[in-house]
Amino acid sequence: MAKTFHKDGKWIDNPNEPAVVVCACGNKYIKTREEQNGCLRCFVKRKHE
């Protein structure tokens, strides 16, 4: 569902709605980086291994 916001006295749909992705561990996350392929918890865990 697109978020709407008020601009110049009219309600408009936000064209930049982020995609919510499900990680392999089952957590949902918003993909913010191109190289990101998991939730933040898994991303950090892999980096420290």
Of the pLDDT bands very low, low, confident and very high (cuts 50, 70, 90), residue 2 is low
Whether 32 is in a domain gets the answer: yes
What's the total number of domains in the chain?
A: 1
- Give a yes or no: residue 43 inside a domain: yes
CA torsion sign for 31, 32, 35, 36 is negative
What is the band of 3 on the pLDDT scale with cuts at 50, 70, 90? low
In a domain, 38, yes or no: yes
Report the SS3 class of residue 43: helix
Q: Which pLDDT band holds residue 4 (cuts at 50, 70, 90)? A: low
Answer yes or no: is 39 within a domain.
Answer: yes
Indicate whether 31 belongs to any domain.
yes
Instruction: Give residue 28's domain range.
Output: 19-49
Contact 19, 31 (CB under 8 A): yes
Report the candidate in 44, 43, 39, 45 with the shortest Cα–Cα distance to residue 27.
39
Q: Do the domain assignments include residue 35? A: yes
Within a domain: 26: yes
Q: Is there a domain that residue 44 lies in?
A: yes
pLDDT, one tens digit per residue, over 15-49 is 677 778 898 898 888 877 777 788 888 878 877 77
